[in-house]
Amino acid sequence: MARVDRLGESAKAWLQVASVIGRSFDADLVTEVAGGDGATIIAELQDMELVHNTDHVGVFIFKHALIQDAVYDSLLSDKRAILHERVAEVIEARNMHRLGEITETLAYHYAKTPRVDKAVRYMAEAGQKSLMVYSLDDAYLQLRTVVELVEKVPDARRMRFSSMHY
């Protein structure tokens, strides 16, 4: 964290968004959410040995999982939820034509936000997708999470999830 604390505000914000995405992340996605000059920030983070290239163009990885964990854990819960929501919104907008392929990712990010409607929708779709390929353990966990999310909402009986198909 000492190296992270030496970063400028835009580079620190950029790294925080990357930590919300996960150990590996798409630099364009991070730049779209965090702003700033992505190329310059990536160069700075590489020089400080916080991140490095992967075999995929534009995809980077935290040099060590502990760096990602430390940055993520340093976020206050409200800011963490805001970043998860923003990441989910950008991923959703970028992939409108193939949402079925990324339901698990969207479910994960929306489940970390107050957007229970979206979390339930995508988690239920991910559970249904797991059932279709007989991944019963995954389906059980995903559908159990749906129930837990719905139970958190005081007036869940009034919630309508019209886009869900069972």
Q: What pTM does this model have?
A: 0.83
Residue type, 150: V
Span 96-144, pLDDT tens digits: 999 888 999 999 999 999 998 898 889 888 888 888 778 788 888 888 8
* CATH 1.10.10, domain 2-74, yes or no: yes
Strand partners, 59: 26
Q: What is the pLDDT of residue 128?
A: 86
| Secondary structure of residue 140 in the 3-state scheme | helix
- Which residue, among 63, 117, 67, has the nearest Cα to 92 in the 3D structure? 117
Please identify which residue in the block is written with the tokens 């190296």.
Answer: 3
What is the DSSP pairing of strand 51-53 with strand 24-26? unpaired
Q: Please state whether beta strands 59-62 and 51-53 pair in parallel, antiparallel, or not at all (unpaired).
A: antiparallel
Q: Could you read off the pLDDT of 32-43 as tens digits, one per residue?
A: 999 989 999 999
Six-digit token pair at 16?
């925080």
Condensed to tens digits (0 to 9), the pLDDT of residues 2-18 reads 888 889 899 999 999 99
User: Considering the chain, what is the average pLDDT of its residues?
Assistant: 88
Rounded to whole angstroms, how far apart are CA atoms 137 and 61? 28
Helix (H) or strand (E) segment spanning residue 93: helix 77-94
d(CA 153, CA 120): 11
* Contact of 7 with 51, CB cutoff 8 Å: no
| Mean pLDDT, residues 55-79 taken together | 95
Identify any residues that bridge with 61 across adjacent strands, giving them in sequence order: 24, 52
Q: Above 70 in pLDDT, residue 90?
A: yes
Tokens of 98: 């193939």
pLDDT at 81 over 90: yes
User: Which DSSP letter does residue 153 get?
Assistant: S
